Structure formats: structure tokens, C-alpha cells
Amino acid sequence: MSSARVGAARLQTRIKVMRTGSSLAGPLHAAPARNAILQGDCVELMHGLPAESVDLVFADPPYNLQLANKLTRPDQSLVDAVDDDWDKFTDFAAYDVFTRDWLAAARRVMKPTATIFVIGSYHNIFRVGAIMQDLGFWILNDIVWRKNNPMPNFRGRRFTNAHETMIWAARDASVKKYTFNYEALKAGNEDCQMRSDWLLPICTGSERLKDSQGRKAHPTQKPETLLARVILSASNAGDLILDPFFGTGTTGAVAKRLRRDYVGLERESGYAKAAAARIAAIEPLPEDAVSAAPSKRAEPRIAFASLIESGLIAPGATLTDVKKRHMATVRADGTLSLSGFVGSIHKTGALAQGLPACNGWTFWHYEEKKGRLAPIDELRAQIRERLRAAAE
């Protein structure tokens, strides 16, 4: 969460560019800033960025917590809660104007295929979501960040606030080719689809930035694990990530480590300087550790008939499932015959199992010369390899 806010007289801050490891530089130019912290009002700064120049937006706006009194624990010690001026708005109407302004500005700089994550709590996320829909964003998911070490509810009058909500949205409903690294996420999740509830700890320990007096440098610093999952989910190496509420630079730090570019917008000079120092100390991971995982959806489409045409499997051959409970005959036209039924490898596989659908490439197996059963998907991989070799 950061420090942009709306008011009758918007703060007129001279726009500055702070590149990691350097001092404040001159005015913003037309080209998109990369690996830079822009200091000033986030809406004004976004108006200065080129249209359709950003691949991903992560936004952690003020939550408008409306804290009227100090919070204390049962032992009367003071809770270090969010009571900064940048989280205070005169009323909901003012907050809505602010939200509409920054979301509209962010939408303008998003590429047609870009997506946006906005994180919030029950104080603001429902207002944010409604405004996003009003502006034309198309919501893809709401993601629950479930904290395994949340702050307890000291008064015992409510449920413990153990989660925050992220809205993930495309720029509009027509977008189909946005980045979503589905297969990589699934592979890293024990070959199970990544769910929309993420159990991750809050930012603690050495990761938490402190000031010279040992206090939190920022009250709502997000954990790097959260940003890593966001960035790995919806961007690729070399993409440009915009964070309009940069704070102490978690987005920039993770982006640099994962070999993405970033542009951070921050009004408070103290936060901007802390972020610059933090990011300067980050070492990017090796390229092969962050390169995009191969996507089956991006591979050339191969028909089963191509296996027959290329001589990898002959008409009349027998295919079975891995346990040899079902047997089908390969026909010359690329279909299979199973107990009098003729259909595709997928339909015959589904019929054999009594299921509505089946991936025939992994269900049907052929017998190699040494007697080993192998899925016909291995033959498809051979054709794809031939195509790649021919293209080189």
C-alpha cells in the first residue's frame, strides 16, 4: 500500500525519475520507463507514460481503513496499525473518485493483452471491484490470500481478519491471449491446478524493512512470496510490470530477481529511497531459472492421422490402455475401431472408460519392439521434433 490520494487540490509534485542505484534524475520522457522509480502523484505519472506500454499491473492501493482510534492489545500495548495520512479520505465518495482516477489511468497504459492484480481488504475491495467493472475491466478471478500467521482480533468482537482479496482482471472482455502460465503453475503445484486460495505468510523477519530506529519502514509491506506468485503467473521474462503504489519496492525487488522490468510510482520520498536501496541489492536469477516453460498449447497441432502418414504407426495396429483392459484397432483414415464403434482417439478412449471426455494421446498406448507399452503421445512428440529440426 502506498501514498497517492485524492483531494480538492491535488499535490503538484515535480516528477522525478529514480533509477535503481542512482540519484534522482530529470523529467519523465515519452519512452516507457524501465527499472525506475517515478516519484510523484500516481495518476499524473501514469498520464505521462505511453499508452499500451505495460504488460502487467500490480496495485496495492490505500485500503481506506477508517481507523478513528488507536488499537491496543489486551496488555494495553499499542498496535502498529495503519494510521498514515495517505490512507485517510474524507468519505467514500472521495475514495471512489480516487479509485476511478487511478484505475482509468492504469487501464490506458496497459497493453491490449495485459492484466491487472488489485489487492485489498473488506474495507475497499468491493468498491474497487465495482469500479473496475464500470470502467470496462473483465474480472478473471478473485484470489484469496490466506495468511497462516494473521494478526489476532484483540477485542474478540469479530472474526480474525485472516485474508486479503486480489482481483485479477483483463483490460476488457474481448481479451483472449493474456499471459497465464497455467502449465508451469500446475507443474510447480504437484501437477494440480493452481487454486484461487493462496496460503502464504505475511511479511516478517529479515524480509521486513526497518528504519534507523528499528520500526517498520512501511506498515503494509507485502511478502515477496505473494508477488512472486503473481509475477510468475501472469508475466514472462523481459515484460514490463507497473506498480502505481510502489511503497518500499516489493514488486520491483521480485521483478528484478525474476528478470522482469518494472516501473514503480511512489509519492513519498522516504519509501522511494528505501525501495531503491532494496532493489539495488537484488541479484537476478540465472536466465534458465526464469525462462518460460514449454507450453503444450503453443506447440503445433498434430493429428493422429499424421502418425499413420509418417509411418510411425501402421493401419491395423492394436492400441491398448496401460493395463491392457481395452483394445482398439487403428484404421487407415486415422480413426480407431473399438467393439464396433468408430471414432477419434479421444471419443474411443472416453467410450472405453464410460466417461464424457478423454485425452486419447495419453490413454492409448502402443507396444514397442522390446515389449514396452508407451503412450501414443510419444509418437506425436517425434513428429514435433522433426518439424522443429526442419525449421532450423
Q: What is the pLDDT of residues 234-289, one digit of tens each?
A: 999 999 999 999 999 999 999 999 999 999 999 989 889 999 999 999 999 999 89
pLDDT tens string 324-361: 999 999 999 999 999 999 999 999 999 999 999 999 99
CB atoms within 10 A of CB 66: 13
| Share of residues in the chain with pLDDT > 70 (%) | 81
> In the structure, what pLDDT confidence band is assigned to residue 152 with cuts at 50, 70 and 90?
confident
At 295, is the pLDDT very low, low, confident or very high (cuts 50, 70, 90)?
Answer: low
Query: Does residue 75 have a pLDDT over 70?
Result: no
What cell does 383 get? 513428429
Lowest mean pLDDT among 17-31, 52-66, 189-203, 266-280: 17-31
31: DSSP letter: S
- Do residues 321 and 365 touch, judged by C-beta distance below 8 A? yes
Question: Looking at per-residue confidence, does 1 or 366 come out higher?
Answer: 366
* CATH architecture of the domain with range 36-289: 3-Layer(aba) Sandwich (3.40)
Contact 270, 240 (CB under 8 A): no
Closest CA to 240 of 262, 219, 222, 257: 262
194-245 residue pLDDT tens = 999 999 988 677 777 667 676 766 666 789 999 999 999 999 999 999 999 9
Q: At 355, which amino acid appears?
A: L
What confidence category does residue 110 fall into, taking pLDDT thresholds of 50, 70 and 90? Answer: very high
Q: Could you tell me the pLDDT band of residue 291, with boundaries at 50, 70 and 90?
A: confident
What residues pair up with 329 in beta bridges, in sequence order? 318, 337
* pLDDT at residue 24, rounded to an integer: 35
| Chain length of the chain | 392
Q: Is the pLDDT of residue 76 over 60?
A: no
Mean pLDDT across 65-87: 49
Residue 142 — pLDDT band, cuts 50, 70, 90?
A: very high
The answer on pLDDT for 180 being more than 50 is yes
In whole numbers, what is the pLDDT of the chain averaged over residues? Answer: 84
The answer, yes or no, to whether residue 28 has pLDDT greater than 50, is: no
141/11 Cα distance (integer angstroms): 34
Region 43-59: mean pLDDT is: 96
Using an 8 Å Cβ cutoff, are 114 and 194 in contact?
A: no
- The pTM for the full model equals 0.71
Q: Has residue 66 got a pLDDT over 60?
A: no
The predicted model gives 308-329 an average pLDDT of 95
Q: Is the pLDDT of residue 14 over 60?
A: no
> Which pLDDT band holds residue 299 (cuts at 50, 70, 90)?
confident
Give φ, ψ of 162 to 5 degrees.
-105, 10
Domain range annotation of the chain: 36-289, 304-390
Mean of pLDDT values over 301-321: 95
Residues 346/350/355/356 CA torsion (nearest 10 deg): 40
What is the reported pLDDT for 84? 54
- Could you count the other beta carbons within 10 Å of the beta carbon of residue 64? 24
Q: For residue 215, what is its C-alpha cell?
A: 520500526
CA distance 32 to 188: 33
